[in-house]
Structure 1
């Protein structure tokens, strides 16, 4: 590989092939975890393939059909059907289409799966932001892209999916004063693109924030008025539910920011816990998901009713 090619690969806006990345990682002696994380960033989100596999399994189970019966009806082998349903498999549209016909799936379900398979074959859209995105965050964004529901808790601030660009920029100027304005601007651009893609998808959002989140001054009163107006607009959307936790003790009182994402009906939620600015944990362990789900449900019962958001915003930063 030439020196000019290495320079081009390391450029902020370049596109990197997995073949080139693998050669460089091998040269640098990168650990296996780093190799796998970069492979997922470059080769496309494995989470999308996993979601497709789970969806096909759900459809088969709904038909009360065994893998052997599905294989006989489609001309596939039982081992092939089993492979397709594994989370780590790569499903082709040809195989998926044969199974969808067998399961008598609706046209809308078929289109949903076709779109996901097509998307999984592309480089993640966030690839162009890798100059400001940590490697660990790629899996978080990939999971967002296939989520059907996102539930989020933030104890002290308005949750990220509800923030204006100016509100987020003010946070990063305070929390990361060593970062250049250009880098902060790019990070804001990334967040706004994440928001746009989630809000334009079929995903539903359920946000709960701490009692003081609306009263915390971020970036000045004018900025807060714009943020409140933004919340007003989002609060009228049928796919966005926003609640404010009570000031008293509740199940999430000592919990840091946390998100629960469901990637398909009947499939396990994936638990995402942000632990500071430089790392996050993603887990689908049932006991962990169940605990946080119970805490969110318990807090939601005590919190203001979802439709009360507009009433609560009256007079705040007016």
Structure 2
């Protein structure tokens, strides 16, 4: 069973190491599963961080792969921490499954790049702006649940700031003209965005209304997450509003999204350009 609060990066790293060790030993999924008396799908789920890391199973796999103690011991020592729920577990009652997976990666990211075609990107939204969007997206929410969603966004932003995570956002000027909430909410959001542009770890580029089409034109919201762990490559989060959200880790697909976003950023006014009126 996938951990209820989504796998942490520590969990993903250990799962990836198990896959790498199996591949280096030249052992098939079936042979690894036979060592556990299990189905190959069990090993596949372990390697994808879709289930908890059971010490007995991990020990059996390491033994089957012929892993020396110097390599095996740190992996076994890290199981306890890897199986702990992430900090976001406290808010799981107001999180969708995809959010748990995404925040599990975002919580250890050194760089977050984000694009939204019509709105201020999530990590730059004020509480009032976010609450107005939550009222629209979750009309059946109680005020308490809506506030918990806002609290979660605050905590995400606080932790990114404490860790010094770099945030690079690209958005169209239409986001500054699409009224979310009342005029006061929009005025506060514009001031907050202008203030964010002055911070050391935040880069904001705004595409003017009269700008020609660029590589991200008509693309849905996209986020690229870079985690400083060699076992985990860059991740892409592609949103299809109202349909689904995909966490993409295929290197070729992530590279294609990065190239598109790079091209759009290169075509946009440079960072530091004042917000358009």
The two structures share one fold, judged by TM-score above 0.5 = yes
Q: Secondary structure at the match of 1:155?
A: coil
Could you tell me whether the CA contact under 8 Å between 2:234 and 2:249 is conserved in 1?
yes
**Match status 1:92 vs 2:57:** no
How does 1:299-310 map onto structure 2 within 5 Å?
A: 299-308=264-273
Match of 1:214 in 2: 176
- How much does 1:227 deviate? 0.9
Q: Hey, what's the Cα distance between the residues in 1 that align with 2:243 and 2:175?
A: 23
Distance in 1 (CA, whole Å) between partners of 2:227 and 2:192 is 27
* Residues 242-251 or 161-170, more deviating: 242-251
Residue 223 of structure 2 corresponds to residue 259 of structure 1: yes
Q: TM-score of the superposition, structure 2-length normalised?
A: 0.73
Q: What's the counterpart of residue 131 of structure 2?
A: 169
Q: Secondary structure at the match of 2:246?
A: strand
Shift of 1:82: 9.8
Query: Aligned match of 1:145 in 104, 107, 120?
Result: 107
Once the two structures are superposed, residues 155-179 of structure 1 have per-residue CA deviations (whole angstroms, 9 ceiling, x without a partner) of 0000000000000111122233232
Is the CA contact (8 Å cut-off) linking 2:14 and 2:75 kept in structure 1? Answer: no
> What residue number does 1:130 align with?
92
Aligned pairs, number = 228
Cα distance, 1:243 vs structure 2: 0.5
1:53 to partner: Cα distance: 8.5
On the 8 A contact 2:214/2:263 being kept in 1, the answer is: yes
What is the alpha-carbon distance in structure 1 between the residues aligned to residue 70 and residue 252 of structure 2?
26
Relative distance call for 1:194 and 1:81 in structure 2 (3 A) is farther
Out of 265, 271, 277, the position equivalent to 2:236 is: 271
TM-score of the aligned structures, taking structure 1 as reference length: 0.64
Match of residue 262 from structure 2: 297
* In 1: Cα distance, 2:229 partner to 2:214 partner: 28
Matches within 5 A, 1:223-242: 223-242=185-204
Counterpart of 1:192 in structure 2 is 154
Three-state SS of the structure 2 residue aligned to 1:136 is helix
User: Match for residue 282 of structure 1?
Assistant: 247
Question: Structure 2: which 5+ runs fail to align?
Answer: 18-64
Q: Structure 1 residue 209: deviation in Å?
A: 0.6
Q: In 2, Cα distance between the equivalents of 1:278 and 1:186?
A: 23
Moved more, 278-287 or 137-146: 278-287
Aligned to 1:67: none
Per-residue Cα deviation, 1:120-155 (whole angstroms, up to 9, x for no partner):
453211111122112232111110111111100000
The 3-state SS of whatever aligns with 1:228 is helix
1:59-104 alpha-carbon deviations (Å, 9 max, x no partner): xxxxxxxxxxxxxxxxxx97248966xxxx94636xxxxxxxxxxx
**Aligned partners of 1:127, 1:211: CA distance in 2, in Å?**
35
Note the alpha carbon deviations across 1:96-124, whole angstroms, 9 max, x for none.
Answer: xxxxxxxxxxxxxxxxxxxxx98645321
| Distance in 1 (alpha carbons) for counterparts of 2:110 and 2:80 | 18
Inter-partner Cα distance in structure 1 for 2:167 and 2:133: 22
**Is the alpha carbon distance of 1:305 and 1:182 closer, same or farther for their aligned partners in structure 2, counting shifts above 3 Å?**
same
* Residue deviations 1:40-70 (CA, integer Å, cap 9, x gap): 52xx734224447889xxxxxxxxxxxxxxx
State the partner residue of 2:142: 180
